Amino acid sequence: MSGGIIKVSRNTDNAPKSELSTQSVAFSHYNNISAQLPVDPKTGEIIVGGVKEQATQCLTNIKAIVESIDHVMDDVVKINVFVKNIADLDAVNEAYAAFFQEYFPTRTCVAVSALPMSDALVQMDALISNGEGTYPQDPCELIKLARNTERAPKGELSTHTVAFSHYNNLSAQLPIDPQTGALVTGGVKEQAAQCLTNIKAVLESIDVPFDDIVKTTIYVKDLASIDEVNEVYTTFFPDSAIARTVAYVPARSTVVAADLPMDALVQIDVVVSHGDGTPPQEVEDRHGIVIRANNTDSAPLNALYTQTVAFSHYNHIAAQLPIDLASQGLVAGGAKEQAEQCLTHIRSIVESIGHVMDDVVKINVQLRDMADFDALNEVYPSFFEKELPARTVIGVADIPMGAAVQIDAVISNGEGTPPQV
């Protein structure tokens, strides 16, 4: 099946459309949903009401997209919730619970500095399972495995880990002691260690090694604390002798949040390779698929992440800053030039592994000033020839190196990784 799977990009009139993204981009056994603002698709305006009503509209838009491609909300495996005020999470949760019947997907909640429409109080994006696959795969009745463990903090509105096919998404882990339900004592180092300990406990509960993580996203409240977080992070990666031999570390993004639940200093979520797949895939194939990590000198290198980590039919690209390779400083110019540089780095990485930008299924953008949204959009479409990928844009409190923009990506990987063919 090398290179033969086809990306399926779709829009529906029942949800807000954008000239700069596609609502739903399916590839293989997953489907990426663009971030949904609380916009009435008929008027194109933010709905009237408070954050609860806005959260309902975001989820209604997601539901409309999901149903337009013959899926249901219980096919959702991951939801990201971005609020302007962390205190609004209780109201968001009131609306949220009504949209899921059988189980709650994995979830990450974070307060952001701004959203693309100034009157928006909340925005959500989603990842859904896609059992039918995309052409020329044959439809299959894969089973979603949703699991919790007593060894990590539980959330009433999320599941610790949801596996489907060859990927597994974990809910964001806060620095909570699972025994007490409270934040651990200490500063950001202790909190980062607890987040990663909770992630490790979840993975061990489903017999998955820590080095099966392919992408990590670290949310911090203060960019100045990232060195302390990294000090702890490097004690968890690489975890195994094999990973240490090849110096494997996953792709990574660092996002500076305006606030985090429970007033935490750090929160971490991960995406995990799942070699054994989910039934009816053969259990004896467990860990048979190879993680393929790759770096290129054509984009900035960093000892804390791998630029691109492929597993099965997806490939995760680490967050790219607008770094000039010659000077190792920020590229000259404003937000437009910086956005162009970030996307140029992503393209260099994508092309270094024999892919093209139209293989991208999802783009995540962080802006330090939402006033730069138009500058981003000026250069963004020029990097794609066909349908634009799904996209999420948020405003953040800060970005490493004082950059105006940072961008990461997920790309389709039609050739798969060995031993798949």
Q: State the catalytic residues.
A: 109
The first and second tokens of residue 178, run together, are 């699972």
Helix (H, G, I), strand (E, B) or coil at 98: helix
- Beta strands 308-311 and 292-294, pairing class: antiparallel
Whether residue 266 contacts residue 191, with contact meaning beta carbons closer than 8 Å, is answered with yes
Tell me which residue of 25, 45, 42 sits closest to 34, measured CA to CA. 25
Tell me which residue of 74, 52, 55, 257 sits closest to 174, measured CA to CA. 257
Q: Is 156 exposed, middle or buried (0-12, 13-18, 19+ CB in 10 A)?
A: exposed
Burial 314-323 (b: 16+ CB within 10 A, else e): bbbbbbbbbb
Rounded Cα distance between 196 and 175, Å, is 8
For residue 237, what is the DSSP state?
Answer: S
**Residue 271: alpha-carbon gap to chain centroid:** 8
Rounded Cα distance between 394 and 130, Å, is 26
Q: Which amino acid is at 241?
A: A
The first and second tokens of residue 9, run together, are 């990009």
Helix (H, G, I), strand (E, B) or coil at 115: coil
Q: Which amino acid is at 206?
A: I
Task: Give the end-to-end CA distance of the chain in Å, rounded to a whole number.
Answer: 5
Whether residue 392 contacts residue 80, with contact meaning beta carbons closer than 8 Å, is answered with yes
Token look-up 């240490």 returns 244
The first and second tokens of residue 420, run together, are 């798949």
